[in-house]
Structure 1
Amino acid sequence: MSDAAGEQSGRMSQPVLELRDAAFTHPSGSGVHGLSFSIAPGEAVALIGPNGAGKSTLLQGLLGLVPRTAGTVRFAGSEASDRSRPGRGELGFLPQTAQFDPDFPISLEQVVMQGRYRRLGWLRWPGRADRAAVRAALDAVGLADLAKRQFGELSGGQRQRGLLARALASDPALLLLDEPFNGLDQPNRDALIETLRALKARGVAVLVSTHDLELAREVCDRVLLVNGDQRAFGTVDDVLTLGNVQDCFEGVEVELDEHTLVVPGHEGHDGHAAHDGHAAHEVSR
C-alpha cells in the first residue's frame, strides 16, 4: 500500500468524534458527565434518555455552546478547545425547534444557504460552489423542486427537512439531530429516514437524540443511554434491553418491545404514554 493510500485509509478508520471522561456543565450547575464514546464515519448513534438527562446539553456542548468541564473531546483526531468548538465544516446541527416568522420573505433556498455562512465568513458572497452545495442539500432531502418557495408556506415536515438541508449544506463530517421526528407525519418521517441512510452511505456520522426505538433500530448502529451521566453505550441489541432502559429511566416503570418505549405518567401529543411531556412511543407496527 502506498503512503498516500495508507494515509487515506487511516483517515477513514479514525473516529469522527471521540469523548473520554468528558463533562459539559451549564453555569446553572446542570449538565452531563462521564461520557466516553466514539462515532466512526458512516455510523449513526441514537442518544436516548429521559427529559433533563443531559441529551441537549451534550449536543450543545459539542457545538461549543455549553462549556466542557472535564475530559477530552476530539473531532477527527484533533483535540477540541476547552469550549469544544469544532472546526469549520466538521459539524451540522438540526435543532429540536426553530423559530421562523411565516410571513418573513425568505425562500427555502435562502434558508439552506445559511448553512454555508460559517464557511463563507462575513466578507464573502456565496459563489458557484456554495450554490451547488445548496442544490445538493435540497436534492438530498427531496425538496429541490421547492427551492424558491417561501419558507413559511411549507408544511411543518417540509420545514424540518429544509432545516436538515441547511445543516447538510456545510458538508459536515458529523451531523447532530435533536428530536428530529417530533410531530412529523409518516411521509416526512420516511423521507427523513431515507435521507439519514443515504448520508451514512456517504460516510457522514450521525448523533441523533430520540425517544423513538424504531428509528434507533432502523437507522442507528449503536445507542448511548444517558441520565446525568453515561449509563450504557454499545450496539442497539446490547444496549436496548429492559434492564438498561429501566436503569436509565430510573424511578419510572417502563415497557419495552422491538419498536416502542412506553414511559407511563404523562400523555404525549399522539395520546400514547410519555415521560415529562415527551411522547416516548412514536410509532408501532
Structure 2
Amino acid sequence: MSMPDASKRRILITNDDGIEAEGLRVLARIADTLSRDVWTCAPINEASGVGHAITLHRPLRIRKLGDQTFTVDGTPTDCVLLAINDLIHDRKPDLVLSGINHGANIGDDVTYSGTIGATMEATLLGIPAIALSLEQGEAEAHWSSVEAHAPAIIEKLLGQAWPKETLFNLNFPDLPAEQVKGIRVLRHGTRKIGDEITHHRDPRGRSYTWIGPARRHAVQPDGNTDVTAIAEGYITITPLHLDLTNYAALDELQQSFAGADVAGKADMVRP
C-alpha cells in the first residue's frame, strides 16, 4: 500500500454512535492531524450492535450538513458505501476511520459491532480501514487519552505493508494518557454479550424485554488477548481478516466428502 502524505491524503470518518456522538468529534480532530481533506458520513441515529448490516428494503435519507459532512438514516455500512460510491465524487478516500466507539470492541464484540462493520465495508471496497474504540469506564470517558495516542499509532500503521482484505481494530483503555501502559498487538479473546436479559411491563401493561450490556468473560487460554490487555491498561491492536473460512476444518471436510453420493450421483462435492 502506498499511502499519500498528509497534504494529499483523503480520510473518511464514520461511526455507529451517531453523527452527534462525542467520539466522532474527537475522531474528527484526530483525522485533522493526519489529513487536510477529511470527510464525514455517519448515521443520524445511534446504531450500535448492527454489525455489517446494509439497508436494502427501504429508501435512505441523506442530509448534507456541510461541504464534506453528511448524515444518513441508515447503518454505518450504508454510510461508508454511500460516501465512497456516491457522495465523494472526484476520488475515493485513502483511509477510513470508524469510531471512536464509546465502549471497547474486543473479543466477541467484533461480531456485533457497527464500528467494525463500517471498516469491513471499506475493506470490501478496497479502502484501508481502522476501527477505534474506547473502553467504557465508571466515570467520564478519557477521550483525550485516545486523542493523545491515536495519531502516532495510525501513522505507524499507514507505514506498514497493509495485508490484503485486512482491517485494524484499535482499542484504548479508559485511562488518562499518562497512565496507559503501552501498546500490544494481540489476537482477540472471548467475552460474550447476552447474559443480562430482563423482562418488564410498560404503563399499559404490555410486556417488553431488554438485552443488557453485561458480558460473560471466559477464561482466556493463555491470557495473551485483547480482553486481558485492555483490563491491564494497554492499547490493543488486532488485525482482522475478511475471510472467515476455517481452513483446518475445510481440509477435513473436503477429505470426508470426497466421492460422496448425493441423489445417486457420485463425487458431487469436490475440493
Calculate the TM-score normalised by the size of structure 1.
Answer: 0.31
Structure showing the higher helix proportion among its residues: 1
Calculate the TM-score normalised by the size of structure 2.
Answer: 0.32
